[in-house]
Protein backbone atom coordinates (compact mmCIF):
# COMPACT_ATOMS: atom_id res chain seq x y z
CA UNK A 1 0.00 0.00 0.00
CA UNK A 2 3.05 2.17 -0.19
CA UNK A 3 2.22 5.47 -1.83
CA UNK A 4 5.75 6.76 -2.01
CA UNK A 5 7.25 4.92 -4.92
CA UNK A 6 10.97 5.70 -5.28
CA UNK A 7 11.55 8.36 -7.88
CA UNK A 8 12.76 6.78 -11.10
CA UNK A 9 14.51 9.88 -12.29
CA UNK A 10 12.05 10.39 -15.12
CA UNK A 11 12.34 14.02 -16.14
CA UNK A 12 8.95 13.85 -17.84
CA UNK A 13 7.13 12.65 -14.74
CA UNK A 14 5.16 15.88 -14.47
CA UNK A 15 4.15 15.89 -18.09
CA UNK A 16 3.09 12.27 -17.89
CA UNK A 17 0.96 12.70 -14.83
CA UNK A 18 -2.32 12.64 -16.71
CA UNK A 19 -1.73 9.24 -18.24
CA UNK A 20 -2.56 6.35 -15.90
CA UNK A 21 0.60 4.59 -14.75
CA UNK A 22 0.76 0.89 -15.38
CA UNK A 23 2.43 -0.30 -12.18
CA UNK A 24 0.17 -1.36 -9.32
CA UNK A 25 1.59 0.88 -6.58
CA UNK A 26 -0.36 4.02 -5.78
CA UNK A 27 1.55 7.18 -6.65
CA UNK A 28 1.07 10.74 -5.48
CA UNK A 29 -1.06 11.60 -8.50
CA UNK A 30 -3.35 8.63 -7.77
CA UNK A 31 -3.76 9.75 -4.15
CA UNK A 32 -4.72 13.26 -5.29
CA UNK A 33 -7.27 11.81 -7.71
CA UNK A 34 -8.69 9.68 -4.88
CA UNK A 35 -8.95 12.77 -2.65
CA UNK A 36 -10.80 14.81 -5.25
CA UNK A 37 -13.29 12.10 -6.17
CA UNK A 38 -13.88 11.32 -2.49
CA UNK A 39 -14.84 14.98 -1.98
CA UNK A 40 -17.23 14.72 -4.94
CA UNK A 41 -18.71 11.46 -3.64
CA UNK A 42 -19.24 12.95 -0.19
CA UNK A 43 -20.78 16.17 -1.54
CA UNK A 44 -23.18 14.39 -3.92
CA UNK A 45 -24.31 11.86 -1.32
CA UNK A 46 -25.00 14.66 1.14
CA UNK A 47 -27.79 15.98 -1.13
CA UNK A 48 -30.24 13.16 -0.22
CA UNK A 49 -29.06 13.38 3.40
CA UNK A 50 -30.46 16.91 3.62
CA UNK A 51 -33.92 15.84 2.46
CA UNK A 52 -33.99 12.80 4.74
CA UNK A 53 -35.50 14.87 7.54
CA UNK A 54 -38.87 14.99 5.79
CA UNK A 55 -39.89 11.59 7.17
CA UNK A 56 -38.09 8.57 8.72
CA UNK A 57 -39.09 6.58 5.63
CA UNK A 58 -37.05 8.96 3.46
CA UNK A 59 -34.17 8.60 5.89
CA UNK A 60 -34.41 4.80 5.70
CA UNK A 61 -33.97 5.00 1.93
CA UNK A 62 -31.26 7.67 2.01
CA UNK A 63 -28.47 5.12 1.24
CA UNK A 64 -30.40 4.04 -1.88
CA UNK A 65 -30.72 7.64 -3.10
CA UNK A 66 -27.05 8.25 -2.28
CA UNK A 67 -26.13 5.17 -4.35
CA UNK A 68 -27.62 6.70 -7.49
CA UNK A 69 -25.89 10.07 -7.11
CA UNK A 70 -22.59 8.70 -5.81
CA UNK A 71 -22.11 6.26 -8.66
CA UNK A 72 -20.67 8.84 -11.08
CA UNK A 73 -17.61 9.93 -9.03
CA UNK A 74 -17.04 6.37 -7.81
CA UNK A 75 -17.00 4.79 -11.28
CA UNK A 76 -14.91 7.65 -12.66
CA UNK A 77 -12.38 7.07 -9.88
CA UNK A 78 -12.36 3.33 -10.61
CA UNK A 79 -11.70 3.98 -14.28
CA UNK A 80 -8.88 6.44 -13.58
CA UNK A 81 -7.10 4.60 -10.76
CA UNK A 82 -6.96 0.92 -11.72
CA UNK A 83 -4.83 -0.10 -8.77
CA UNK A 84 -5.29 -1.91 -5.46
CA UNK A 85 -6.34 -0.05 -2.31
CA UNK A 86 -7.80 3.02 -4.07
CA UNK A 87 -11.29 2.22 -2.76
CA UNK A 88 -10.02 1.27 0.68
CA UNK A 89 -8.37 4.68 0.96
CA UNK A 90 -11.58 6.32 -0.29
CA UNK A 91 -13.53 4.48 2.41
CA UNK A 92 -11.00 5.47 5.08
CA UNK A 93 -11.20 9.15 4.10
CA UNK A 94 -15.00 8.92 4.22
CA UNK A 95 -14.65 7.53 7.75
CA UNK A 96 -12.41 10.43 8.77
CA UNK A 97 -14.89 12.96 7.39
CA UNK A 98 -17.96 11.33 8.94
CA UNK A 99 -16.25 10.96 12.32
CA UNK A 100 -16.30 14.75 12.64
CA UNK A 101 -20.06 14.94 12.28
CA UNK A 102 -21.32 12.93 15.23
CA UNK A 103 -22.21 10.02 12.99
CA UNK A 104 -22.50 6.53 14.37
CA UNK A 105 -19.51 4.14 14.54
CA UNK A 106 -21.66 1.83 12.40
CA UNK A 107 -20.92 4.02 9.38
CA UNK A 108 -17.19 3.67 9.97
CA UNK A 109 -17.40 -0.11 10.23
CA UNK A 110 -19.65 -0.45 7.19
CA UNK A 111 -17.53 1.87 5.04
CA UNK A 112 -14.34 -0.03 5.86
CA UNK A 113 -16.04 -3.43 5.45
CA UNK A 114 -17.73 -2.35 2.21
CA UNK A 115 -14.46 -0.94 0.88
CA UNK A 116 -12.63 -4.20 1.63
CA UNK A 117 -15.29 -6.20 -0.24
CA UNK A 118 -15.12 -3.67 -3.08
CA UNK A 119 -11.34 -4.16 -3.25
CA UNK A 120 -11.89 -7.90 -3.47
CA UNK A 121 -14.40 -7.48 -6.31
CA UNK A 122 -11.99 -5.23 -8.20
CA UNK A 123 -9.07 -7.59 -7.60
CA UNK A 124 -11.03 -10.56 -8.97
CA UNK A 125 -11.85 -8.60 -12.14
CA UNK A 126 -8.27 -7.29 -12.47
CA UNK A 127 -9.36 -3.64 -12.08
CA UNK A 128 -10.40 -3.55 -15.74
CA UNK A 129 -13.99 -4.71 -16.09
CA UNK A 130 -16.88 -2.33 -15.59
CA UNK A 131 -18.91 -5.16 -14.06
CA UNK A 132 -16.29 -5.59 -11.34
CA UNK A 133 -16.40 -1.88 -10.59
CA UNK A 134 -20.22 -2.02 -10.48
CA UNK A 135 -20.12 -4.87 -7.94
CA UNK A 136 -17.49 -2.94 -5.98
CA UNK A 137 -19.78 0.08 -5.93
CA UNK A 138 -22.69 -2.02 -4.65
CA UNK A 139 -20.50 -3.10 -1.71
CA UNK A 140 -19.18 0.41 -1.12
CA UNK A 141 -22.72 1.86 -1.14
CA UNK A 142 -23.54 -0.24 1.92
CA UNK A 143 -21.38 2.19 3.91
CA UNK A 144 -24.14 4.79 4.23
CA UNK A 145 -26.46 2.09 5.64
CA UNK A 146 -24.78 2.90 8.95
CA UNK A 147 -26.85 6.09 9.08
CA UNK A 148 -30.37 4.56 9.30
CA UNK A 149 -29.31 1.12 10.61
CA UNK A 150 -29.65 2.12 14.32
CA UNK A 151 -33.41 2.44 13.66
CA UNK A 152 -33.57 -1.36 13.55
CA UNK A 153 -30.51 -2.51 15.48
CA UNK A 154 -30.94 -0.35 18.59
CA UNK A 155 -34.48 0.92 18.12
CA UNK A 156 -35.49 1.70 21.73
CA UNK A 157 -32.17 3.20 22.77
CA UNK A 158 -31.97 5.12 19.51
CA UNK A 159 -35.50 6.54 19.79
CA UNK A 160 -34.76 7.62 23.36
CA UNK A 161 -31.49 9.21 22.24
CA UNK A 162 -32.96 11.28 19.42
CA UNK A 163 -35.88 12.33 21.62
CA UNK A 164 -33.37 13.46 24.24
CA UNK A 165 -31.37 15.22 21.53
CA UNK A 166 -34.42 17.37 20.81
CA UNK A 167 -36.12 15.64 17.88
CA UNK A 168 -39.84 16.42 17.62
CA UNK A 169 -42.17 13.90 19.27
CA UNK A 170 -44.09 13.25 16.04
CA UNK A 171 -40.84 12.37 14.26
CA UNK A 172 -39.96 9.87 17.01
CA UNK A 173 -43.47 8.40 16.73
CA UNK A 174 -43.12 8.11 12.94
CA UNK A 175 -39.82 6.33 13.52
CA UNK A 176 -41.70 3.47 15.14
CA UNK A 177 -43.65 2.95 11.91
CA UNK A 178 -40.47 1.97 10.04
CA UNK A 179 -38.89 -0.03 12.83
CA UNK A 180 -40.17 -3.35 11.47
CA UNK A 181 -37.19 -5.49 10.30
CA UNK A 182 -38.89 -5.89 6.93
CA UNK A 183 -38.01 -2.25 6.27
CA UNK A 184 -34.36 -2.99 7.00
CA UNK A 185 -34.39 -5.73 4.36
CA UNK A 186 -36.13 -3.33 1.98
CA UNK A 187 -33.53 -0.65 2.71
CA UNK A 188 -30.59 -2.99 2.02
CA UNK A 189 -32.26 -4.38 -1.11
CA UNK A 190 -33.06 -0.90 -2.40
CA UNK A 191 -29.48 0.24 -1.78
CA UNK A 192 -28.04 -2.64 -3.80
CA UNK A 193 -30.66 -2.18 -6.54
CA UNK A 194 -30.03 1.57 -6.74
CA UNK A 195 -26.26 0.97 -6.81
CA UNK A 196 -26.80 -1.28 -9.86
CA UNK A 197 -29.11 1.31 -11.43
CA UNK A 198 -26.57 4.06 -10.70
CA UNK A 199 -23.82 2.00 -12.35
CA UNK A 200 -25.99 1.54 -15.44
CA UNK A 201 -26.80 5.25 -15.62
CA UNK A 202 -23.13 6.11 -15.17
CA UNK A 203 -22.25 3.68 -17.96
CA UNK A 204 -24.61 5.63 -20.22
CA UNK A 205 -22.97 8.89 -19.11
CA UNK A 206 -19.53 7.43 -19.83
CA UNK A 207 -20.57 6.56 -23.38
CA UNK A 208 -22.39 9.82 -23.98
CA UNK A 209 -19.86 12.25 -22.46
CA UNK A 210 -16.74 11.01 -20.73
CA UNK A 211 -15.39 8.61 -23.37
CA UNK A 212 -15.84 11.27 -26.05
CA UNK A 213 -14.05 13.80 -23.85
CA UNK A 214 -11.20 11.33 -23.30
CA UNK A 215 -11.66 11.28 -19.53
CA UNK A 216 -11.89 7.48 -19.25
Partner 1 sequence: MGLPATSRSRQGHGGEGRGGLLRLDPRTLLGLLVASTLLSFLGLPLWLEATLVLVLALLQAACGHAALAVRSVVTYVVVVATLDLVLARLGIVFVSAFTYSLSLARSVFLCGMCCALIVAECSVHRAAAALRALHAPEPLIIPFSTTLRYFPTLVRDAGHIRDAMALRDIPLLERLEAFVVPLMVCATNTADDLSRAAVCRGIEDPSRVTDTEGLRMCMADWAALASAALAVAVVRSGVLL
Which residue ranges make up the site for partner 1 (CB under 8 A)? Answer: 1-7, 13-15, 17-18, 26-29, 31-40, 42-44, 50-51, 53-55, 69, 72-73, 76, 80, 85, 89-90, 92-93, 96-97, 99-102, 161, 164-168, 170-171, 205, 209-210, 213, 215
52 touches 58 (CB < 8 A): yes
138 touches 196 (CB < 8 A): yes
To the nearest whole angstrom, how small is the minimum distance from the Cβ of residue 31 to partner 1?
Answer: 4
Q: Which CB atom, from 163 or from 186, has the smaller least distance to partner 1?
A: 163
Q: Which CB atom, from 133 or from 182, has the smaller least distance to partner 1?
A: 133
To the nearest whole angstrom, how small is the minimum distance from the Cβ of residue 81 to partner 1?
Answer: 10
Q: Which CB atom, from 124 or from 157, has the smaller least distance to partner 1?
A: 157
To the nearest whole angstrom, how small is the minimum distance from the Cβ of residue 185 to partner 1?
Answer: 25
To the nearest whole angstrom, how small is the minimum distance from the Cβ of residue 216 to partner 1?
Answer: 9
Q: Which CB atom, from 43 or from 193, has the smaller least distance to partner 1?
A: 43
Other beta carbons within 10 angstroms of residue 197's beta carbon come to 15
Q: How far is 122 from 128, CA to CA, in rounded Å?
A: 8
Beta-strand (E) ranges in the chain?
Answer: none
* DSSP classification of residue 82: -
Q: How far is 63 from 110, CA to CA, in rounded Å?
A: 12
User: Please, is 166 exposed, middle or buried when counting C-beta atoms within 10 Å of its C-beta (0-12, 13-18, 19+)?
Assistant: exposed
To the nearest whole angstrom, how small is the minimum distance from the Cβ of residue 40 to partner 1?
Answer: 5
Q: Which CB atom, from 40 or from 188, has the smaller least distance to partner 1?
A: 40
How far is residue 89 CA from its own chain's centroid? 11
Amino acid sequence: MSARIPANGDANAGAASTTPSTDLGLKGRDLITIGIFTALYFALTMIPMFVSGIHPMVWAFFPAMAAILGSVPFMLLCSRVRKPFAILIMGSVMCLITLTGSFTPLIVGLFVGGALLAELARYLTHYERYLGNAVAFAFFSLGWLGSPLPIWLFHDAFAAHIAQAGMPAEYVAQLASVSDPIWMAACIGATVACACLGSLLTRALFRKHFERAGLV
